[in-house]
Amino acid sequence: MAIEVRPVQGRRELSSFIKLPFRLHRGTPWVPPLIYGRRQFLNRAKNPYFEHADAQYFLAWRDGQPVGRITAQVDRRWDEYQGGSDGQFGFIEAEDDPEVFQALLGAAEYWVRDRGRRRLLGPMDFTTNDECGLLIEGYERHPMILEPWHPPYYRERLEALGYDKTMDLLMWWLELGGLKQGDRFHDAIHAVAEKVESEHGITVRNMRRRDLEAEIGRFMEVYNSAWEKNWGFVPITEEEVRFQAKNLKQLLDENWTFIAERDGETLGAALTLPDFNQVIKKMNGRLLPIGWLRFLLGKRKIDRVRVFALGVKPEHQHTGIAAKFYVEHVETAKVTPQKAGDQGWILETNEPMNRAMEGMGGKIVKRYRLYEKPL
């Protein structure tokens, strides 16, 4: 049967868009997201991304059944901070059929070209601040919280359509408890960490859940400063901060969140999340009727974390705050069930961070790739 690609119309088709990977990835390491959360994220009236961007959602149909999906988007803030004339694609999911991929990417290319764009980048759901990249290594590993998962044929299909690598994003596995060195990283890291307060007057504390929106604001202040010069980075807005804070509230564990301060100024921040995917994967995307119970009971058994982001404002990166954050992670692992986890993603071109991961005994376990195609 012929493939038909058309824009998503109405609540029922949006549900088909959200639920398609539930069928495609049944029995794989993929973790079903919460359907309610995906619906909120894709809601143009609620997600503040749409205050500076536009997007179209597409479904590919064959014989009345959805067989693929994709989004095409243009982001004015990307233009402002990254230059060029780019469009992005995201949320790509499809059956293993070259015609489906060709039809989906063709629709996305036409949509962004029609808006004056000369290059298509992706996948990004919707930006590099969200889930992004196509998994090309680590298929056998279960994705952690806020990590995408794709089967190997996705890479083959994109590259066959002329999409080339633009950047790789690395996930490092770090052991935080039971380290061979005796629950320590290299002695030099601990030596630097010990001087953070005594020599620089900087204190490190945990974030406070009761003041979550302000704490996430402090984190994003660091985030926008520390990542400013990174490839593909677009600063997050205040409205997006509030949106993210609401989404993260149930996932945040104060033990794993850190703020570095001096005289009331935030200098650095680290946001590490327990791997709630260990719980969510048993909920099949639903909170009701017993999803909440599974969530509440299951979170006590989570034994991994994802070091989601760790950064220091550029003018304070010489003070050893990053080392102090990593030592705090080791100390926290001693008193919590979580003993290891993923760190990243980290740009393949970020030599200082990648060498730091290597020096702490980390190993690359997943690699995500962002692709580009001139139009």
Residues of the chain with pLDDT > 70, as a percent, come to 96
124 and 159 co-located in one domain: yes
46 and 128 co-located in one domain: yes
Domain boundary among 169, 190, 205: 169
126 and 186 co-located in one domain: no
223 and 118 co-located in one domain: no
Residue 10 maps to a domain = yes
Residue 46 maps to a domain = yes
CATH number of the structural domain spanning residue 185 = 3.40.630.30
What pLDDT is attached to residue 246?
A: 80
143 and 179 co-located in one domain: no
> What mean pLDDT do residues 291-297 have?
68
Per residue in 151-198, pLDDT tens? 999 999 999 999 999 999 999 999 887 555 456 677 888 899 999 999
Domain boundary among 145, 169, 193: 169
Task: Measure Cα distances from 313 to 194, 216, 276 in Å.
Answer: 19, 15, 29
State the DSSP string of 207-269.
--GGGHHHHHHHHHHHHHHHTTTSTT--PPPHHHHHHHHHHHTTT--GGGEEEEEETTEEEEE
Residue 305 maps to a domain = yes
Q: Where do runs of H (alpha helix) occur along the chain?
A: 10-24, 35-41, 76-82, 98-113, 153-160, 187-200, 212-226, 238-248, 277-280, 291-298, 321-335, 351-359
Asked whether residue 43 carries a pLDDT value surpassing 70, the answer given is yes
What pLDDT is attached to residue 178?
A: 54
Q: Which residue has the higher pLDDT, 296 or 171?
A: 171
What pLDDT is attached to residue 196?
A: 94
What pLDDT is attached to residue 241?
A: 83
Per residue in 53-102, pLDDT tens? 999 999 999 999 999 999 999 999 999 999 879 999 999 999 999 999 99
Residue 375 maps to a domain = no
Domain residue limits at 208: 173-368
What pLDDT is attached to residue 291?
A: 64
Helix (H, G, I), strand (E, B) or coil at 177: coil
Domain count, the chain: 2
What pLDDT is attached to residue 65?
A: 96
178 and 165 co-located in one domain: no
Instruction: Give the number of other Cβ atoms within 10 Å of residue 300's Cβ.
Output: 8
117 and 19 co-located in one domain: yes
CB 131, CB 88: distance < 8 Å? no
39 and 181 co-located in one domain: no
> What mean pLDDT do residues 110-133 have?
96
54 and 151 co-located in one domain: yes
